Amino acid sequence: MTTRQSPGTAAFRRPSQDQMRKIRPVQFIKEVISELRKAVWPSRQETARLTWVVLVIGALVGSLLGLFDFALSRTLTQYIILG
């Protein structure tokens, strides 16, 4: 029979201020590198494809917002000048 730890147990507690101060910069860097090695990095093709997706969507959203801005400013200018 396995027992599950509840959120109040040591495995789930946040480190105390004393424990947080004890971490040395070199140890911190080593832990960061260790965590980055665990990450799953995208392939070159996936990175290129996703970059194009971001650029296309950004251009579409920018164009749409530019169109709305142009139409709204044109409409408001006509109402202010003629109104």
Q: What pLDDT is stored for residue 47 in this prediction?
A: 97
Domain coverage including residue 39: 15-82
**Domain assignment present for 6:** no
**Domain assignment present for 29:** yes
**Domain assignment present for 67:** yes
Q: What is the pLDDT of residues 56-79, one digit of tens each?
A: 999 999 999 999 999 999 988 888
**Domain assignment present for 25:** yes
Q: What pLDDT is stored for residue 6 in this prediction?
A: 59
For 13-68, the DSSP string reads: SPPPHHHHHT--HHHHHHHHHHHHHHS-PPPHHHHHHHHHHHHHHHHHHHHHHHHH
Q: Which residues of the chain have pLDDT under 50?
A: none
**Domain assignment present for 56:** yes
**Domain assignment present for 50:** yes
Q: What pLDDT is stored for residue 8 in this prediction?
A: 56
Q: What pLDDT is stored for residue 58 in this prediction?
A: 98
pTM confidence score:
0.53
Look at the chain and report how many structural domains it folds into: 1
**Domain assignment present for 1:** no
